[in-house]
Amino acid sequence: MRIASCGADICAVNTWIKPGTPKEKVGDKLVMSITEDSEGSYPGTAFDPQRDLIYKLTVKVDGDRMTTKGCVIAGLICKGVEWTRIN
């Protein structure tokens, strides 16, 4: 996953996909509209153009680690993912 600015938002683009993950492709993008809150988290929304879905999103960064949690359907279905920066 490559994360970089894209206009006023932040884009996360797949650079590699784990084998056996048929719904994901290299180049798929997630457009995140997030801002830092007083607790050091980044709440906001994420738009997935491949699925035409908008998620409620929270991002937390701690050094080289990042945790994302996205929810759909008024927060009824949520998934969290932990990421580690590589050089």
Q: Does residue 22 register a pLDDT over 90?
A: no
Look at the block and give the residue holding tokens 């908008």. 54
Confidence (pLDDT) at 31: 95
The whole-angstrom separation of Cα 74 and Cα 67 is 20
Confidence (pLDDT) at 58: 93
The whole-angstrom separation of Cα 54 and Cα 74 is 11
pTM, whole model, 2 decimals? Answer: 0.77
Residue 32 has a CB neighbour count (10 Å cut-off) of 20
Confidence (pLDDT) at 49: 93
The whole-angstrom separation of Cα 78 and Cα 74 is 10
Q: Where are the domains of the chain?
A: 2-84
Task: Pick the closest to residue 64 from 85, 82, 80, 81 (CA basis).
Answer: 85
Confidence (pLDDT) at 34: 93
In one letter, which amino acid is 85?
A: R
